[in-house]
């Protein structure tokens, strides 16, 4: 963009100082930025430094050394000064030959000395205005070019965003389609088992059907939990409850998660574990989730009767967990994408191995939260895969163990625990009461908030299992009122709800709940609550 000045710059060149002063007085220094030079050589230096900002050059023809014509020729031969208008000033008569020489050198006019002031001012003013207009035109042209470039850039950004949105929309549709497929798979045997029991309640293999239903419900629960965990991790809303844990305890939890699928697909499963006790500073359930998901992934992507190996090594600094299979393998060009939930290896709807890819996405994020790394090695299609998780072994604990429930539980001593179950879903409340009975506890039921408050004060239960979405008042309000009752000061308040985000957990904690369970509440969840309440 060209430099813009409020006053036009006029170069005046004359070897006589009195002529320069006369021209300065005639033109007015207040109207123009007058640049004076008393020789062609001095003028040339000025032109080389400021040539692009000069509106007009007034050159004396007769000067010692470089005359006006020679200076004009040099100006026309220089890119920076070739377009500067030139008016020659001469004291003698100008013949046709001199005029021709001047015009050939680049002159636009000749003015005879003595100079008529009005004529000079008029001509200088015309070229000054022309220069200012040219500058404005150039500025507008530059602004237009910039605007055009900005529009083009915005258009390209918009097109890129549109493509990305279409891609995300397609990814979402594929994800929802695959999610529906993943949900239908366990629902089918679940529905079949229920219909069989409905038509023939006394069927001989009832226990087998119960086992089928339990496995499929667990599968659905794990699927929902993984989805919620991945969402929390991606939003940075998941905290690790670190403690010093024995790896054998972690492995037991991981195998509980993964062995049903390994056994269903009849895989050969081998383990190479340290002979000594290995302790690691980690979140026990999350570390078990990492290992369990890796084993499930290996089982899923290995054809039936395959081989899966788990190797664990430990040194002073690191714990290495290696899961190896002889399954479908991963092409080299796909290995960087396997942790992306939308870029899984199998997207073919005809493939029994197609899946959401939640497991590996969650594994990587949980591993990174533990300060570890994950690597995959595969020689390609049908060559199997090896995943290696490396975690630091930290001797100093970070994080505090929560002993509030244990302290609360040890405060009481009685023979049989009594549990108040509050839920407006009567069938859910009844099934929970059956599980409570299996834990050798007594129970009472309430199906709305007001009844719950009354029954709690009458029965004084040891544990209150309360739904949040009640028909009259919320579970939060119920517990807020009950925590003010002195007779219930040692009661354990447990929320059971379909909402499991960090904000939901914080709300129940603020309301006075001691524990937060996400539906569906399993027998193991209830058992943990009851066993944690020491008589």
Contacts of 500 (CB under 8 A, 6+ apart): 228, 516, 518
Minimal CA–CA distance to 136: which of 10, 247, 4? Answer: 4
CA angle centred on 516, ends 190 and 257, rounded to 5°: 45
CATH number assigned to the domain comprising residue 368: 3.30.565.10
CA distance 92 to 350: 100
Q: Determine the pLDDT at residue 413.
A: 40
Counting every residue, how long is the chain? 535
In-domain check, residue 316 = yes
pLDDT category, 468, cuts 50, 70, 90?
very high
Minimal CA–CA distance to 341: which of 95, 515, 168, 531? Answer: 168
> How does the average pLDDT of the chain come out, rounded?
83
Note whether 251 and 370 are same-domain residues: yes
CA distance 332 to 349: 22
Note whether 277 and 386 are same-domain residues: yes
Note whether 256 and 383 are same-domain residues: yes
Note whether 370 and 463 are same-domain residues: no
The more confident residue out of 105 and 220 is 220
In-domain check, residue 433 = yes
> Which of 65, 90, 115 finishes a domain?
115
Q: Can you list the alpha helix ranges (DSSP code H) found in 40-116?
A: 40-50, 68-76, 96-105
Is residue 242 within 8 Å of 281, Cβ to Cβ? Answer: yes
In-domain check, residue 175 = no
Q: Determine the pLDDT at residue 96.
A: 61
Note whether 286 and 412 are same-domain residues: no
Residue 262 domain boundaries = 243-392
Q: Is the pLDDT of residue 398 over 60?
A: no
Contacts of 98 (CB under 8 A, 6+ apart): 61, 90
E strands of 273-377, at which residues? 279-282, 307-314, 318-325, 373-377
Beta bridge partners of 60: 89
Q: Is the pLDDT of residue 228 over 90?
A: no
Q: Cis omega before residue 114 (within 30°)?
A: yes
Mean pLDDT of 18-38: 89
In-domain check, residue 209 = no
Q: Determine the pLDDT at residue 100.
A: 66
Mean pLDDT of 55-74: 89
Beta bridge partners of 282: 243
Alpha-carbon 225 to chain mean position? 21
Note whether 362 and 465 are same-domain residues: no
Mean pLDDT of 482-497: 92
Note whether 251 and 361 are same-domain residues: yes
Mean pLDDT of 383-406: 64
pLDDT category, 521, cuts 50, 70, 90?
confident
Query: Encoding tokens for residue 395?
Result: 């001797």
In-domain check, residue 139 = no
> Which of 328, 357, 392 finishes a domain?
392
pLDDT in tens, 292-329: 989 999 998 999 999 999 999 988 888 999 999 999 99
Among the listed ranges 30-39, 97-106, 231-240, 397-406, which one has the minimum average pLDDT value? 397-406
CA distances from 233 to 214, 238, 345 (A): 28, 5, 22
Q: What percent of the chain has pLDDT over 90?
A: 31
Q: Determine the pLDDT at residue 262.
A: 93
Q: What are phi and psi of 358, to 5 degrees?
A: -65, -40
CA distance 169 to 311: 40
Mean pLDDT of 494-505: 88
Mean pLDDT of 513-529: 89
pLDDT in tens, 345-364: 444 433 445 555 677 888 88
CA distance 99 to 107: 9
In-domain check, residue 204 = no
CATH number assigned to the domain comprising residue 24: 3.40.50.2300
pLDDT in tens, 421-445: 999 988 888 888 888 888 889 999 9
In-domain check, residue 417 = yes
Domain count, the chain: 3
Note whether 387 and 524 are same-domain residues: no
Is residue 324 within 8 Å of 384, Cβ to Cβ? Answer: yes
Four-point Cα dihedral 308, 314, 319, 325, nearest 10: -10
Note whether 90 and 44 are same-domain residues: yes
In-domain check, residue 172 = no
pLDDT in tens, 151-208: 999 999 999 999 888 887 777 776 676 677 677 767 878 888 888 888 888 888 888 8
Note whether 16 and 103 are same-domain residues: yes
Among the listed ranges 11-20, 351-360, 486-495, which one has the minimum average pLDDT value? 351-360
Note whether 373 and 247 are same-domain residues: yes
pLDDT in tens, 43-56: 999 998 887 888 89
Q: Determine the pLDDT at residue 342.
A: 60
Note whether 247 and 367 are same-domain residues: yes
Among the listed ranges 93-102, 269-278, 498-507, which one has the minimum average pLDDT value? 93-102
> Which of 357, 392, 427 finishes a domain?
392
């Amino acid at each position: 963009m060209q430099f813009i000045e409020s006053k036009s710059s006029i170069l005046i060149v004359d070897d006589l100082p009195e002529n320069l002063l006369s021209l300065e007085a005639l033109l007015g220094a207040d109207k123009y930025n007058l640049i004076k030079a008393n020789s062609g050589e001095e003028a040339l230096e000025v032109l080389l430094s400021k040539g692009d900002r000069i509106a007009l050059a007034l050159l004396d023809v007769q000067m010692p050394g470089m005359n006006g014509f020679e200076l004009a020729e040099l100006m026309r031969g220089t890119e920076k000064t070739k377009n500067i208008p030139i008016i020659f000033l001469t004291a003698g008569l100008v013949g046709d030959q001199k005029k021709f020489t001047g015009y050939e050198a680049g002159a636009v006019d000749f003015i005879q000395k003595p100079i008529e002031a009005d004529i000079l001012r008029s001509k200088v003013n015309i070229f000054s205005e022309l220069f200012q207009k040219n500058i404005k035109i150039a500025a507008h042209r530059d602004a237009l070019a910039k605007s055009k470039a900005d529009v083009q850039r915005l258009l390209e950004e918009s097109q890129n965003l549109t493509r990305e949105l279409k891609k995300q929309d397609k990814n979402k549709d594929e994800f929802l389609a695959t999610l529906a497929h993943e949900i239908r798979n366990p629902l089918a045997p679940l529905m079949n088992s229920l219909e069989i029991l409905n038509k023939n309640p006394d069927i001989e293999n009832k226990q087998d059907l119960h086992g089928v239903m339990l496995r499929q419900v667990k599968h659905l629960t794990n699927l929902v939990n993984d989805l919620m965990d991945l969402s929390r991790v991606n939003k940075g809303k998941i905290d690790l409850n670190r403690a010093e844990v024995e790896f054998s305890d972690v492995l037991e939890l991981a195998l509980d998660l993964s062995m049903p699928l390994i056994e269903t697909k009849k895989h050969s499963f081998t383990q190479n574990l340290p002979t000594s006790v290995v302790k690691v500073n980690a979140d026990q359930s999350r570390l078990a989730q990492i290992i369990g998901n890796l084993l499930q992934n290996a089982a899923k992507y290995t054809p039936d009767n395959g081989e899966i190996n788990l190797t664990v090594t430990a040194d002073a600094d690191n714990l290495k967990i290696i899961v190896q299979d002889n399954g479908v393998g991963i092409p080299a060009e796909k290995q960087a994408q396997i942790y992306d939930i939308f870029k899984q290896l199998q997207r073919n709807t005809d493939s029994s191995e197609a899946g959401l890819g939640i497991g590996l996405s969650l594994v990587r994020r949980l591993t990174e939260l533990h300060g570890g790394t994950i690597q995959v090695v595969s020689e390609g299609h049908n060559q199997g895969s090896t995943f290696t998780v490396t975690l630091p072994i930290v001797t100093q604990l970070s994080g505090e163990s929560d002993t509030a429930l244990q302290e609360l539980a040890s405060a009481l001593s009685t023979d049989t625990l009594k549990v108040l179950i509050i839920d407006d879903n009567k069938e859910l409340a009844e099934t929970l009461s059956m599980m409570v009975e299996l834990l050798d506890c007594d129970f009472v039921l309430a199906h709305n908030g007001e009844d719950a408050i009354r029954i709690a004060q009458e029965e004084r239960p040891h544990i209150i299992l309360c739904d949040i979405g009640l028909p009259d008042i919320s579970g939060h309000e119920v517990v807020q009122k009950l925590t003010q009752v002195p007779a219930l000061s040692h009661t354990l308040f447990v929320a059971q709800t379909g909402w499991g985000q960090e904000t939901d957990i914080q709300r129940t904690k603020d309301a006075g709940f001691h524990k937060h369970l996400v539906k569906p509440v399993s027998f193991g969840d209830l058992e943990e609550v009851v066993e944690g309440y020491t008589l």
